[in-house]
Homo-oligomer: A and B are copies of this chain.
Amino acid sequence: MSWTIKELGFQQEKIIHHGNQFLIGHLLLGVRGTLDEFRKDQLVAINLPFVYDQVGEGWREPVNAFNPLYTTLFVNHKEISLLTQDPTYHEQCLDMKHAVMSRKTIFSIDGVQLEWQSSRFVSINHERLMVTRTMIKTDQPMTLTIKTGIDQAIWDIHGPHLEHIQKGEMPYLSMLGTTHEKGYHIHVLKHVIPHQKMNTYLSFDEGVYQLFEITTQQNQTYIIDTISIIGVDQTIDELTSTLHESSEMGFDQLLKDHESAWEKKWEYADIKIKGDDNAERALRYSIYHLLLLSPNRKPKLSIPARGISGQTYKGAIFWDTEIFMLPFYLNTDPLSARHIIEYRIEGLQGAKEKAAYYGYQGAFYAWESQENGYDACTDYNVTDVFTHRKVRTYFKDKQIHISGDIVYAINRYIHHTQDYTILSDGALEIFLEVGRFYLDYGQHALLKDRFELKDVMGPDEYHERVHNNAFTNQLVHMVFETILHYESDYHRKNDPFFDDLVNRLHFHESLELIRHMVHKIYIQPIHPNGLIEQFDGYFMHRDIAKKELLDQKLHPHEYLGGAGLAGDTQIIKQADVITMLYLFKDRYDQHIIRKNWAYYEPRTEHGSSLSASMYALTSCMIGNPSYAYPLFMKSASIDLTGESKHYAGGVYIGGTHPAASGGAYMTAVYGFAGLNFTDHITLNPKLPPSFESLSFQIKYRKKQYKIDISQQDATIQEVLT
């Protein structure tokens, strides 16, 4: 089965989508799949995740570096590129196995065929190194100019972020910029290596460029390689020395090393689906994105919600990582999984500050987490399309489930890896501080004698400031139980760590109250008809058909949540009760899941890319893989088709969707294969009819297993590594 994603022909309106579709890089450097000659307006981004900057009142977002991949052609001083001329042939390819992007374009210029090929990769073996090869060939002699350099015309949503720009050309082309807020030095160096001797000169118009003039011979291929490095607060010596060494190795060796490293990444991660090439390809593409984003490059790394695809979603980490992506790394790369948890340990201080800001004790994690747990989320996340005013949203201050999501993820991590060291490395402190936060956020309703959490927002963000969200309250219950579980666990082991921590954090009173309240937390009851109400009063909301509601839209990008069209209806943005039922599946019978699935799915707009996979997973749980299949395909191919929401209330929210990729992975493994971990591994396969078989490997408690499922059979086999 093919490892290649290929698009034939050129369409202006797909430029932005292809920038996501052909993304390459790794978690410290994202390179959008735009073409050599593209610039700012085509949303070129050499994205530097975790290098955040804020200009004025604009959103704080990761910086895009100057673009050292820029290359274009001129004939008679006229630019020849996809931006100026229709090609006679064009293809763009992604080699998923090796994370190499390439293009081939043929132009016809006064009867002469000009063929332009290039390929690029972001070396997985370097911190931030990019390598390209450009190949030019004509079928008749022709005089042309190749312009390649570091381009300053880069995409910036809330920039410009780089100031005090310095340009240089010795020993390499170079551009240095300083970030506005924190003054990071972003240094881009580019070594241009022509294979043939060519006339060359420099230009400094909108960047720094080298121009090569050649008069081609018929069908002779002219080659220029470039090797570029980006430094973030690194010395020039360090950068030039690495660039020098890499240049010595040359394109071919760098590519070879890069390819073999990528092949290793795939070794335990690939999933084979026999009988359904489309599904295999889409799932493989999802895994490709998860591998791009492996947070194994250094400790305390996590994954932004739009990955490395640009500045949308502020380059911030959401609950997406813990709930939708972590399972992939647990099964394939536990070190990455640990880093994801470590990121939140490092963010605890920020979470405590956020809680304190709102008048609460404990840890209220950032909804859009940047460094040190800083919450980049604003109070105004969308724009009213009618008045062009900013709309007050409540993602930041009311979506308190984020803290519980993290506790849930840590529990999963410990259960999966049995790495208990994480507890003393900070996880137990997270548990206590999150518990304390919930204890302080919620309240004891006296006549009802129950612990309630009012004024929250669940995963369904269309309904703001609700009371006793079923999902949130279950999480709070789980947090309280987790704390009490570890209390008795440490006591049982005669390990004083728990009590010492309680002392250090002055947690005695909270612990007593948690003990008192744990069984009083209000869990939304199961109604006689099997339904669970999403929050107090949800069933009293207007019950309007989804289509009828959407037909009432007066503007294609109008925001449906809050005071918008959906706010007072039962139409929800994404899986909410269903997400709760999936995460707490051990607590509910199958027929309850079935009833709620049937009720909530038609009322779900799936306005979030997180939604489809939860419905797909639960659909498998109730024995309905054919309901799951289209939802699985939707999750798996969201960045292949580009069929996702690009605007929310007038704000561009495009980019890749790694949580959907993670959700597709989860659906394959936990849904179709029915994988489940208790003390041992179980399978309860629900293969879609189109699947002949499904095969993959997982790591569980330090062992490697191979799992093979066919329509008839399912086996788990330990792999000795």
Contacts and interface: CB of A to CB of B under 8 A. Distances in A.
Q: Find the residue from A379, A447, A452, A567 having the highest chain B CB count within 10 A.
A: A447
A440 B444 contact: no
Contacts of A489: none
A509 interface: yes
Q: Find the residue from A439, A446, A567 having the highest chain B CB count within 10 A.
A: A446
Given A359-B536, A454-B454, A536-B359, A392 B446 contact: no
A236 interface: no
Interface in A553-602: 554, 562-563, 565, 567-568
Contacts of A359: 536-537
A392 B447 contact: no
Contact of A386 (B387, B391, B448, B565): B387
A510 interface: yes
A281 interface: no
A361 interface: yes
Of all A-B residue pairs in the complex, the 3 with the closest CB atoms, nearest first, are A443-B443, A563-B563, A444-B444
A445 interface: yes
B510 A447 contact: yes
Interface of A: 359, 361, 379, 386-387, 389, 391-392, 436, 439-440, 443-448, 452, 454-455, 465, 467, 509-510, 513, 517, 536-537, 554, 562-563, 565, 567-568
Contacts of A446: 439-440, 443-444, 513, 517
B452 A447 contact: no
> Copy number of this protein in the oligomer?
2
Nearest to A555: B387
B563 A447 contact: no
Contacts of A513: 446-447
Nearest to A452: B443
A437 to B, nearest CB: 10
B562 A447 contact: no
Contact of A361 (B444, B447, B565): B447
A568 B444 CA distance: 29
A540 to B, nearest CB: 9
Contacts of A536: 359
B554 A387 contact: yes
Contacts of A563: 391-392, 562-563
A293 B386 CA distance: 44
A446 B447 CA distance: 15
A445 B438 CA distance: 11
A509 B449 CA distance: 12
Contacts of A391: 563
24 contacts: A359-B536, A359-B537, A379-B568, A386-B386, A386-B387, A387-B554, A392-B567, A439-B446, A439-B447, A440-B446, A440-B447, A440-B448, A443-B443, A443-B445, A443-B446, A443-B454, A444-B444, A444-B446, A447-B510, A447-B513, A455-B465, A455-B467, A465-B465, A562-B563
